[in-house]
Amino acid sequence: MGAGLLGAVLGLVLVQVEVAVQDLDLQKIAGFWREVGVASNQNLALKTPRRPEAVFLTLRGAELTVKAAYNSSGSCETENIVGSEVDVSGRFVFPGHREIHVIDTDYERYAILRLSLHWQGRAFHVLKYFTRSLEDQDEPGFWRFRELTADTGLYLVARHGRCAKLLKEELI
C-alpha cells in the first residue's frame, strides 16, 4: 500500500478514535508512562536515536509538561518540554512544530498517543503505546494498539528500562 493511501487510511481510523476520547480527563492522564510500542509508516521516525524509555506528564491548567527519560549511550538523560492544549481535548502543541494527541487510554494501565512533527517541510507521524507498569505490557492496551496500527507496522520497544525505572523512582 502506498504511503499516501496508508496515511489516509490511518488518518480515518484516528478520526474515528478521536471522537471516542473527546471527554478526556486530563488530570487522570498525568503521571508516569513507560513507552512499550512504536508504529509509523515513516522509517526515519522509527530510527531516531533519542526515543524516550518513559515520560512523566504534569498538567497545570492548559499546559502539559512532559519530562522524558532517554538512554543515551548507556547514561540516562531527561528533558522537560512544555506544551499547550489546543482546540481538541487531549491535543497539545509544543515548540518546534511538535504535537501530541491522546488517541486512547483507560488512564490506569495504557495510553496510545499520536506524535506529529513537521521537519524540513515534511510531516512525520508516530503512534506510541505506553503503560503505567515497568514490567507489563498490558494486553488490553496492546490489542487496541495492534488494531490501530494493523496497516502501519508494529515495532515493539525492547529496552533494558533502567532510565524508565530511575524516572519513576525520582518522581513518584
pLDDT of 130: 92
Residue 167 pLDDT class (50, 70, 90 cuts):
confident
Contact 32, 165 (CB under 8 A): no
Q: What is the pTM of this model?
A: 0.78
Q: CA 70 to CA 31: how far, in whole Å? A: 17
Q: What digits encode the pLDDT tens for the residues 132-158?
A: 988 876 678 888 888 888 877 656 555
Residue 47 pLDDT class (50, 70, 90 cuts):
low
What is the residue range of 132's domain? 3-171
Number of structural domains the chain divides into = 1
Q: What digits encode the pLDDT tens for the residues 96-128?
A: 889 999 999 999 999 999 999 887 888 888 889
pLDDT of 87: 72
**Is the four-CA dihedral 31, 170, 55, 157 of positive or negative sign?**
negative
Residue 34 pLDDT class (50, 70, 90 cuts):
very high
Q: CA 87 to CA 100: how far, in whole Å? A: 13
CATH code: domain of residue 81: 2.40.128.20
DSSP state of 120: T
pLDDT of 3: 38
**Angle, nearest 10°, between helix axes 3-20 and 139-149?**
140
Nearest to 128 by CA among 113, 145, 149: 113
Q: Which residue has the higher pLDDT, 88 or 6?
A: 88
pLDDT of 70: 87
Q: CA 40 to CA 149: how far, in whole Å? A: 8
Q: 125's torsion region: left (phi>0), alpha (psi -120 to 50) or beta?
A: beta
